[in-house]
């Protein structure tokens, strides 16, 4: 090698070092290193009393134990009624899930299907069936499990969840989506706990049960109604209770039963004040007494094949009176905080999200935008006062079985919230009727999956973030120092 060539070996080497360092620094700075190397998926079936829905969730794999990263990718409504309706044909319950499972399989990348957990949680409809016919309930769960296992995903079981779980998981879902559990504070350099007043309560209304869950301002006197969680390093003790038989469908069956026992004439006609004037519908007595929620009231020797004709009268005052007959508001006495039927409940506190049937009913009536209690009551009264012909003409695309019940369900919601859960005119404004948050459906399914997959850590993940940030920050600092050193050596050599 000549002298001229040797003269340039060092500067060329230093120049290459500088270029390499610059390239690595720019690569680290311009690459969005917070993007996950992959995305994980989870699937949950909500097997409710009136219908089943499938939800697909996704989250970045490198933030599995961080907060606010799980999002809903797909929702699919299973055709037909809830799986509890297939008690006499369990195989059909399994087949009903196939179209939604097919959609999920198309959505999730093939390489990740085997690692995708799938859960099925059955709620009040199956809780009622398990009380009525445990063998039938077991057969339905076995058939839906068999169907899901035919798909190339990680099936982790189908089970009937308790009412307390349903309420608690709904509470977790809302607060997770709205970041009320914990936030990362740049100012404080770590995770902080938002004020307790920002933690949201959950109000859920299904076809067969209703749940209330919230963080009370004081201690919970009845341990049976307390659920304990440790989330992101903080302890939470919430009040949660589920009322089986007080979902809107089962409640309306109880109302019809009460009315039939009080006013049914010899021809089997029953005047129903919660139905619009001009409404008539024939029902079999069996359809009213076919549930443990009403079967115990069946008179001895009663003919279940008897036909009843429900005749609407559209009287809101009498409608509410009829609805009140299915509650016991005096069982606790004057000195104990109570909801209804002798059930302990501390005073409600904080903001609440009312979802599921709470939202669907009020959304139909266009009263989910923060209207005052006076406006809500007035809207319901005006709707209930319309004739059945007027209603069906005004909403030609709505199914008649839904239209006929909006008046009854709206009045039921008023009685349940105001006289059951003890909300007042003043606290009414604390209730938000909403079905989605951050683009995700509100319900128990997300909270259920978060819990079973351990996505929400017991302790705050500050150390995880510190390690991740420390790795790339340290790398950049090292490369910058290398760059500076190389430049200094080059300048020294040249000059």
Task: Report the catalytic residues.
Answer: 166
Which tokens hold the place of 221? 């006197």
Cα 268 to Cα 261: distance, rounded to the nearest angstrom: 11
Phi/psi of residue 322, nearest 5 degrees:
-65, -40
Within its chain, how far is the Cα of 33 from the centroid?
32
SS3 (DSSP) at 279: coil
Cα 448 to Cα 444: distance, rounded to the nearest angstrom: 6
Cα 483 to Cα 247: distance, rounded to the nearest angstrom: 68
Residue 356 host element (H or E): strand 352-356
Strands 201-205 and 352-356: parallel
* Residue matched to tokens 């017991």: 458
CB atoms within 10 A of CB 467: 10
Cα 215 to Cα 197: distance, rounded to the nearest angstrom: 9
* Residue matched to tokens 């779980």: 165
How many CA atoms lie less than 13 Å away from 2 in the CB half-sphere?
A: 2
Phi-psi region of 157 (alpha: psi -120 to 50; beta: other; left: phi over 0): left
Phi/psi of residue 224, nearest 5 degrees:
-65, -20
Which tokens hold the place of 274? 């919660």
Q: Are 96 and 79 in contact (CB under 8 A)?
A: yes
Strand partners, 229: 236
SS3 (DSSP) at 278: coil
């Amino acid at each position: 090698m000549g002298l001229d060539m040797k003269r340039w070996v060092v500067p060329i080497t230093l120049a290459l070092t500088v270029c390499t360092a610059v390239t690595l620094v720019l690569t680290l700075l311009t690459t969005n290193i917070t993007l996950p190397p992959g995305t994980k998926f989870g699937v949950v079936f909500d097997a409710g009393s009136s219908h089943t829905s499938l939800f697909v969730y996704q989250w970045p794999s490198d933030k599995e134990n961080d907060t606010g990263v799980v999002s809903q990718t797909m929702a699919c409504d299973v055709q037909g009624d809830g799986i509890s309706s297939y008690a006499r044909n369990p195989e059909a319950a399994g087949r009903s899930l196939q179209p939604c499972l097919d959609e999920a399989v198309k959505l999730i990348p093939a390489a990740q299907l085997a690692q995708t957990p799938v859960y099925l949680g059955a709620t009040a409809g199956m809780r009622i069936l398990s009380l009525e016919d445990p063998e039938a309930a077991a057969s339905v769960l076995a058939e839906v499990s068999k169907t899901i296992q035919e798909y190339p995903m990680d099936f982790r079981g189908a089970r009937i969840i308790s009412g307390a779980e349903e309420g608690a998981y709904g509470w977790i879902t809302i607060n997770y989506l709205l970041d009320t559990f914990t936030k990362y504070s740049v100012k404080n350099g770590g995770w902080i706990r938002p004020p307790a007043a920002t933690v949201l309560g959950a109000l859920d209304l299904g076809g067969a049960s209703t749940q209330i869950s919230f963080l009370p301002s004081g201690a919970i006197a009845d341990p049976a109604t307390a659920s304990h969680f440790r989330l992101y390093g903080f302890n939470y003790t919430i009040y949660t209770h589920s009322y089986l038989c007080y979902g809107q469908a089962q409640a309306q069956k109880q109302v019809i039963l009460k009315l039939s026992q009080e006013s049914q004439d010899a021809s089997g006609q029953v005047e129903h004040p919660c139905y619009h004037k001009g409404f008539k519908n024939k029902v079999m007595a069996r359809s009213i007494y076919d549930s443990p929620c009403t079967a115990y009231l069946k008179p001895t020797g009663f003919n279940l094949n008897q036909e009843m004709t429900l005749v609407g009268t559209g009287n809101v005052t009498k409608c509410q009176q009829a609805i009140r007959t299915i509650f016991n508001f005096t069982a606790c006495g004057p000195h104990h905080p109570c909801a209804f039927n002798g059930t302990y409940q501390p005073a409600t506190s904080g903001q609440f999200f009312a979802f599921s049937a709470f939202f669907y009913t009020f959304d139909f009536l266009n009263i989910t935008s923060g209207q005052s209690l006076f406006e809500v009551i007035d809207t319901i009264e005006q709707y209930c006062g319309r004739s059945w012909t007027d209603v069906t003409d005004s909403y030609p695309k709505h199914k008649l079985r839904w239209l006929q019940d909006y008046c009854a369900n709206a009045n039921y919601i008023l009685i349940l919230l105001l006289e059951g859960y003890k909300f007042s005119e003043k606290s009414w404004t604390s209730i938000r009727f909403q079905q989605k948050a951050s683009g995700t459906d509100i319900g128990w399914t997300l909270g259920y999956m978060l819990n079973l997959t351990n996505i929400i850590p017991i302790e705050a993940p500050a150390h995880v973030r510190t390690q991740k940030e420390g790795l790339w920050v340290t790398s950049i600092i090292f490369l910058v120092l290398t760059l500076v050193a190389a430049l200094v050596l080059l300048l020294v050599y040249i000059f």
